[in-house]
Amino acid sequence: HYNMHIWTRQEFWYWIELGFSCFYFCEVTLKLSVLGFERFWHRRPFQNRFDFFTVYILFAVEITFCFVTPEQLQYGDDWIRVLALLRVSRLLRLFWHIKPLRTLGLVMVRLIPVFWEQGLLLVVVFYIYATLGEQLFGGQIYR
């Protein structure tokens, strides 16, 4: 079970994260208002759409946590995981600002078509091993 206490209004880090989310929210909203929605959406499609969805979802969930604690929500621990995933995904933007990471990312994207068939073959082999292992040794560990 996830420790939800660290994401309450009484914690210092909650307010730091909310401050960063407000900053990112203002940045994306300013971009939207200056460029207009159509130019914003099509100018740098991946980066702007990524920013749009991650920032607005992150901001909405954190504002919700200003009024309600995660324990009061039906799936509070799942929302905490979504917040953590969105915060980490914001770090992916650093790939475009740090040249070695950007080069690494572009090389990895170029290699996807080359290694696609080998990757599928590995998935099939792992699936066969997993199925055989489950059929031959399923439940043996717990006895």
User: What's the pLDDT tens digit per position in 10-37?
Assistant: 777 778 888 888 998 999 999 999 999 9
pLDDT score recorded for residue 29: 94
pTM equals 0.62
Judge residue 52's burial from the number of C-beta atoms within 10 Å of its C-beta, 0-12 exposed, 13-18 middle, 19 or more buried.
Answer: middle
Q: Which residues of the chain are modeled with pLDDT < 70?
A: 1-9, 70-71, 73, 75-76, 142-143
In angstroms, rounded to a whole number, what is the distance separating the alpha carbons of residues 111 and 115? 6
Mapped onto helix, strand or coil, the DSSP state of residue 69 is: coil
